[in-house]
Structure 1
Amino acid sequence: MEIIELHITEEEQGERIDKILSVRNEWSRSQVQQWIKENRIQVNGKPVKANYKSQIDDVVKVSIPEPELLDVIPEEMNLEIYYEDEDVLVVNKPKGMVVHPAPGHLSGTLVNGLMAHCKDLSGINGVLRPGIVHRIDKDTSGLLMVAKNDAAHESLVNQLVAKTVTRKYKAVVHGVIPHDQGTVDAPIGRDKQDRQSMTVTDQGSKNAVTHFKVLERFDQFSYVECQLETGRTHQIRVHMKYIGYPLAGDPKYGPKKTLNLEGQALHAGVLGFQHPKSGEYLEFEAPLPTEFLSVLDNLRNNR
């Protein structure tokens, strides 16, 4: 059983404990409420109810039960497949969809849909993550490459390690970035105060590099393109916060006063890699989703 300890921040005081935990950890609200009923969540050493209003510096301990051994249940979905052959598949994941099953998200994930779409997925990452080579966050939309056999999986992972995969994201961030482009080279590791968050730190961290360029400036926001050189958890979200320009709508790393969005304004728009078998370079581009386009239209109209 894993035990997570976190501290309530000034911005979170007065919020319901179930809401805070679901936002911070991307657990479902119902999962958090069930754990509260099972006394798996304590505040300052005592059980609480789901509607407990948190206070600054509250110490919250969550005892996460061991995951059940589960079979992935195929679910028919209208997946947006950009490319597919016997080795690899490229899919455009919509915002709000979790990539693979986990406690609190056992169905409705991309993997559930992939299992219904095709049965031949690599088994390197186990039963809950077949074919998954890399991930994007639940509220990030965009392109993912999926391996359909173990040889393809190893090839794609090796390309990620060698930093030869092209991954470009579009984002809207708080603040007006004065320079046209830049690079963030800052190591990322677990946040000691919140083990479910990442932060720039020298302790227990891995090198992380993000290149960015400004595409458009607004009164209080900037529209940027970020290119990953490495692929750390929440890398773009953490790096842009680190340099003072957090992503709009980001519930974990951004300010409370933000654009009216369900999750961060981030889209994995360009994905390129060498085909695992032929060696041919393939590159795909997915247009911005409707919600993202609406955000840009509103910012342009309100200048």
Structure 2
Amino acid sequence: MSVKNSKFISFHSDVSQIPRPDKFTFPFYYEPHELAVIAMSQVQEYLETQTEWEHNFGLDDRQEGLVIGKMFGVLVVEDKQGELGFLAAFSGKLADSNEFDYFVPPVFDLLDSKGFFRKEEVVINEVTIQIDQLEKEEAYLNAKRKLEEASKSYLKELQKYKIEIKTAKAERKLIRENSKDLIPEELEALLEDLRKQSIREQYFLKDFTETNKKQIASLSEVVESFENQLAELREKRKNMSNTLQGEIFDSYYFLNAEKEKRSLQSIFQNTIDHKPPAGAGECAAPKLLQFAFENELKPICLGEFWWGASPKSEVRVHKQVYPACRGKCEPILGHMLEGIETDENPMLQNPAENKDLEIVFEDEYLVIVNKPAEFLSVPGKNITDSVYTRMKEKYPEATGPLIVHRLDMSTSGILVLAKDKQVHMHLQKQFIKRNVQKRYVALLDGIVVKDSGIIDLPLRVDLDDRPRQLVCYEHGKRAVTKWEVVERRNSQTLIYFYPITGRTHQLRVHAAHMLGLNAPIVGDDLYGSKENRLHLHAQFLQFTHPITKEAVKIKVDAEFT
């Protein structure tokens, strides 16, 4: 059996009547083609029934071991005979291995026992063993312990003696003050004696300090000798690791449809960091395309899905389809898809085209609009049409930044704009100091059991997949949301959100995350399932008018409520 045939999977059902797509899947934002959906269902059936290997995806409470969900992918392909089938792949490692009969192999197998990585890894591990042994060396540990004890004892005794000197000095001062009536000869003798006491104390302090410092210096030399050796070994290991990583990046190459090769290093050299991030090239999509190009298979369409429990840091739903990640995959797939016509990038299309901005309040100082869903608040990288540009055109004499606060492109609702700098500054200060009352309404995909509560989950951007956000207690910024249920209906929950902080995608993540409400907002294409729109709307806003000082209350209901 050929390599191709061992990985080329035939469809279980007749797909001959399904029209093939005109263009290949745009991998970073897509609705999977019907052929990809069928292929993914077939892979999921395999995952549910296979007995060849074991991996804890977190789907069976009885299974032991670390829970690790996985991204799987399918690539529908056509061979030279025109036969249609598909390839399957997984991201990273699966069940501590890279090689399985059902899945395509990795582009570069770090686990290959005959490869240079494993050989170099053995040498690096030997240095690590030397470091571990030296760190546990009895002479080193004893010297560290003695140094710590000597340093503590010295400081303790020094403090004690300084207090004694201070007390003795005060006593001598008192004696001098009470000895003014002595005859000159007796007074002179007394003062001489007091002076000698002071000199003895200073000599003792000097001798005590020098003796202890010599002892501490001697112990420090022993400790420093060991730590210099450790530093040299760690630097050696670091240099060896960097060299090995460079060899991997140069040996790790990717093909495109024209069989042009580019190394991982060259692909990422023009990115912000100028080097590949950890795990680059180990995702499903690059593996699938590489195997197809190597085996003369024509890519037809792509689909990737999550299998298993969601990680605690991010939002992943079992069996849900997801786009390829941007940080790791975008530069690689940019090369691999050269020469292949793909679907249009929807992110380059203007979603606000033919949409109007409804003005719900206006005076000579400010204007409040009801922003439609899929409408930028400010100009983006590729699209300039936005609330800002529309309002700048409408009010050409307005000064200042105009936009006081922002809404995500997908979120609809109330947005405030100022017509001059002073009004803008006054309004923005109210938002910064949280003196503005805000209420969002959202429709969640799922039933929220409790009636109200507060979510406190810190957020940071996913560096490998912007603009997605992660829950991160180490580097995340605090994000707090108060919420209350309005209505439960048809397996969905209508809910009010009162954001205490204003982090990017805060309400979306707090709704979808397992530690939040565990119910994504309907239509959330990042943290849930795509629908006709994101069902999140900025419904109510109250603030103090900068000029009249009166309370301004604005309420605009959402179309989905």
**Shared fold per TM-score greater than 0.5:** yes
- Percent identical: 29
> Who is 2:233 aligned against?
none
Structure 1 contact 156–276 (Cα < 8 Å) conserved: yes
Tell whether 2:475 aligns with 1:204: yes
Query: What's the TM-score once normalised by structure 2's chain length?
Result: 0.39
State which of 362, 370, 387 in structure 2 corresponds to 1:92. Answer: 370
User: Which string of whole-angstrom CA distances, capped at 9 and with x for unpartnered residues, describes residues 113-143 of structure 1?
Assistant: 21222124443xxxxxx41121112221110
Output the amino acid matched with 1:113. R
What's the offset of the Cα at 1:187?
1.6
> Who is 2:390 aligned against?
113
Tell whether 2:190 aligns with 1:190: no
What is the CA–CA distance in structure 1 between the aligned matches of 2:303 and 2:398, rounded to whole Å? 44
Output the amino acid matched with 1:90. I
> Who is 1:246 aligned against?
520
Higher strand share: 1
Structure 2 contact 27–302 (Cα < 8 Å) conserved: no
What is the CA–CA distance in structure 2 between the aligned matches of 1:223 and 1:271, rounded to whole Å? 19
Structure 2 contact 355–372 (Cα < 8 Å) conserved: no
What is the CA–CA distance in structure 1 between the aligned matches of 2:300 and 2:500, rounded to whole Å? 42
1:62-211 mapped onto 2 (5 Å cutoff): 62=331, 78-107=356-385, 109-123=386-400, 130-211=401-482
Matched pairs, number: 240
> Who is 2:329 aligned against?
60
> Who is 1:10 aligned against?
none
1:262-281 mapped onto 2 (5 Å cutoff): 262-281=532-551
Structure 2 contact 373–534 (Cα < 8 Å) conserved: no
Higher helix share: 2
What is the CA–CA distance in structure 1 between the aligned matches of 2:355 and 2:519, rounded to whole Å? 36
What's the offset of the Cα at 1:17?
5.7
Structure 2 portions without partners, runs of 5+: 1-23, 32-266, 291-298, 306-323, 335-352
Output the amino acid matched with 2:522. A
What is the CA–CA distance in structure 1 between the aligned matches of 2:425 and 2:404, rounded to whole Å? 9
What's the offset of the Cα at 1:199?
2.2
> Who is 1:230 aligned against?
501
> Who is 2:28 aligned against?
20
What is the CA–CA distance in structure 1 between the aligned matches of 2:480 and 2:434, rounded to whole Å? 11
What is the CA–CA distance in structure 1 between the aligned matches of 2:493 and 2:555, rounded to whole Å? 21
Which 4+ runs in 1 deviate beyond 6 A? 39-43, 45-48
Output the amino acid matched with 1:133. V
What's the offset of the Cα at 1:183?
0.9
Output the amino acid matched with 2:370. N
What is the CA–CA distance in structure 2 between the aligned matches of 1:22 and 1:137, rounded to whole Å? 20
Query: What's the TM-score once normalised by structure 1's chain length?
Result: 0.69
1:32-47 mapped onto 2 (5 Å cutoff): 44=281
Larger radius of gyration: 2
Q: Secondary structure at the match of 1:115?
A: helix
Structure 1 portions without partners, runs of 5+: 1-15, 24-38, 65-74, 124-129, 294-303
State which of 487, 490, 500 in structure 2 corresponds to 1:216. Answer: 487
Structure 1 contact 212–226 (Cα < 8 Å) conserved: yes
Using a 3 Å threshold, how does the CA distance of structure 1 residues 114 and 19 change in structure 2: closer, same or farther? farther
Q: Secondary structure at the match of 2:552?
A: strand
What's the offset of the Cα at 1:156?
1.6
Structure 1 contact 183–210 (Cα < 8 Å) conserved: yes
